[in-house]
């Protein structure tokens, strides 16, 4: 959420942000609601001051007749104040709803574009494997090696359901162990097993509500299942003042994640690329309210994930997301995409974003500077690694003609094997 004073002083910037992000937002409607809010709030504050003055006068009145007249007059006045306060409450409800729709301002480096097809490639790493045979898809390879069971997954869990079994499960465990080692060695991260079942306030604060509600699973008690531990980790400091000397806060969260994929019907319906339930490591950083600091932490987090992928030896590219591929609150975002041989294209595995104070203003996460002044912190997040999706590129890029799969060296200490084959499962 942006500050209303900033919005009023920078209507051109806000309008251009909505255009660049391809978000339909009526700025004039918000400004009209804010005019109403300010006018009625002024009336209410003036009437409350008059009420306080009258209350003091009644307390000091000595003549009982005068006192009774003043009380009756105050009774009528209180009814008028109550009506005005109810009017303010209604206007505030409309104003808050509109404020939650205001897009954050994209960085100047964010390219214009209509979709993810317009994202700008900024880095390519690794050599794509050259096979002397036609490469198989991850589905064929994993089913042949007994790593996944999709029919039983659908039978038990429904559409997009899956079971990882045998070495498929063990390979996931190995990836998680290596991920913790890799990211914790970057220093300063606090490892956290985060809840997936999270209250509405944290979703509103991080910007996943109200716009993204269709993609969330909701319980009968009003909580939601999160698609990333970012939601819980940002809610961790909700309504708190963090000591400045404790910044930056760097958290490495792990949790099961859930997405309805409501906007992806008919898209990636086979295999384990787009599933309803998965597991993810997430990097979350809270830092001082300084643009340069946000940029530095953003580059650092994204590089952490690039180095993880490089250690696995998987070819990838990094792109800057165009305006239309940014979320409501994101200032800038990188996507890391892994090479998938069977599809002959790169597929997204990680996103790294920074928000300035968009999320922390909603969540009321602040710190006090050296002069005692309170500021909203800046927030950032980045996928560390997501499973089972990463298995797709790992298995396809390391496949052999006989259907076996070479295991990356860095995973051998955790997996205990150098090759996946029918005989080894």
Residue recorded with tokens 């690329």: 273
CA distance 232 to 250: 14
- Interacting residues of 126 by C-beta distance below 8 A, sequence separation 6+: 310, 313, 314, 315, 316, 339
- Whether 259 is catalytic is yes
What are 11's two structure tokens? 């209507």
Q: Is the pLDDT at 291 greater than 80, yes or no?
A: yes
Q: What is the CATH number of domain 116-420?
A: 3.30.930.10
Told to judge if 229 belongs to the known catalytic residues of this protein, a careful annotator would answer no
> Which residues make up the CATH 1.10.287.40 domain(s) of the chain?
4-99
Q: Is 38 a catalytic residue?
A: no
More reliable by pLDDT, 217 or 73? 217
Which pair of tokens denotes residue 263?
A: 């906007």
More confident residue, 424 or 285: 285
Q: How confident is the model over 136-182, as pLDDT tens digits? A: 999 999 999 999 999 999 999 999 999 999 999 999 999 999 999 99
Residue among 339, 350, 255 nearest 307 (CA): 350
Helices (H), ranges, 148-199 = 150-157, 167-184
Fold of 4-99: Helix Hairpins (1.10.287)
Question: What average pLDDT does the structure give for the chain?
Answer: 94
Report pLDDT digits (tens) over 342-387: 999 999 999 999 999 999 999 999 999 989 999 999 999 999 999 9
User: Could you give phi then psi for residue 255, rounded to 5 degrees?
Assistant: -165, 155
Q: What is the pLDDT of residue 220?
A: 94
Residue 202 has pLDDT above 80, yes or no: yes
Q: Choose the catalytic residue: 19, 67, 260, 274.
A: 274
Out of 255, 351, 379, 404, the active site residue is 351
Q: What is the pLDDT of residue 238?
A: 97
37-70 burial: b if 16+ Cβ within 10 Å, else e: beebeebbeebeeeeeebeeebeeeeeeeeeeeb
Query: Boundaries of CATH 3.30.930.10 in the chain?
Result: 116-420
Q: Is residue 332 predicted with pLDDT exceeding 60?
A: yes
CA dist 90 and 82 (Å) reads 12
Residue 400 above 70 pLDDT?
Answer: yes
Question: In this predicted model, what pLDDT tens digit does every residue of 23-32 receive, in sequence order?
Answer: 999 999 999 9
Res 307 pLDDT > 90: yes
Which of 230, 297, 389, 396 is an active site residue? 389
Residue 382 and residue 252: Cα distance in Å, rounded?
A: 10
What pLDDT score was predicted for residue 210? 86
pLDDT of residue 265: 67
Rounded Cα gap, residues 323 and 293, in angstroms: 22
Q: Among 201, 348, 412, 421, which one carries the catalytic annotation?
A: 348
Q: Quick one: pLDDT at residue 64?
A: 80
Per-residue model confidence as pLDDT tens digits over 128-139: 999 999 999 999
């Amino acid at each position: 959420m942006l500050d209303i004073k900033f919005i009023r002083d920078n209507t051109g910037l806000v309008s251009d942000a909505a255009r660049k992000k391809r978000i339909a937002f009526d700025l004039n409607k918000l400004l009209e609601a804010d005019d109403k809010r300010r006018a009625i709030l002024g009336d209410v504050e003036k009437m409350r001051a008059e009420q306080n003055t009258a209350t003091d006068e009644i307390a000091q009145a000595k003549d009982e007749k005068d006192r009774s007249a003043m009380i009756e007059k105050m009774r009528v006045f209180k009814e008028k104040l109550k009506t005005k306060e109810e009017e303010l409450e209604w206007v505030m409800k409309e104003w808050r709803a509109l404020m939650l729709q205001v897009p954050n301002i994209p960085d100047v480096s964010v390219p214009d574009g209509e979709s993810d097809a317009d994202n700008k490639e900024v880095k390519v790493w690794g050599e794509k494997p050259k096979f002397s045979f036609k490469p198989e898809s991850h589905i064929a390879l994993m089913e042949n090696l007994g790593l996944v069971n999709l029919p039983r997954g659908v039978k038990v869990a429904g559409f997009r359901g899956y079971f990882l079994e045998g070495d498929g499960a063990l390979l996931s465990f190995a990836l998680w162990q290596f991920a913790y080692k890799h990211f914790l060695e970057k220093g300063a991260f606090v490892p956290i097993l985060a809840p997936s079942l999270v209250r509405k306030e944290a979703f509103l604060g991080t910007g996943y509500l109200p716009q993204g509600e269709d993609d969330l699973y909701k319980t009968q008690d009003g909580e939601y299942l999160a698609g990333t531990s970012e939601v819980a980790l940002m809610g961790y400091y909700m309504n708190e003042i963090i000591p400045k000397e404790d910044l930056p806060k760097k958290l490495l969260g792990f949790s099961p994640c859930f997405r309805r994929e409501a906007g992806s019907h008919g898209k990636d319906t086979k295999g384990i690329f787009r599933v309803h339930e998965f597991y993810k490591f997430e990097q979350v950083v809270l830092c001082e309210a300084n643009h340069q600091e946000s940029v530095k932490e953003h580059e650092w987090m994204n590089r952490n994930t690039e180095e993880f992928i490089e250690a696995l030896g998987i070819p990838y590219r990094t792109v800057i997301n165009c305006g239309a591929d940014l979320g409501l609150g994101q200032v800038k975002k990188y996507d890391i995409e892994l090479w998938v041989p069977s599809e002959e294209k790169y597929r997204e595995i990680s996103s790294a974003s920074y928000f300035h104070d968009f999320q922390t203003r909603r969540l009321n996460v602040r710190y006090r500077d050296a002069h005692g002044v309170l500021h909203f912190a800046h927030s950032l997040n980045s996928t560390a690694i997501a499973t089972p999706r990463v298995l797709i590129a790992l298995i396809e890029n390391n496949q052999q003609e006989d259907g076996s799969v070479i295991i990356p060296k860095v995973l051998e200490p955790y997996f205990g094997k150098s090759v996946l084959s029918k005989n080894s499962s």
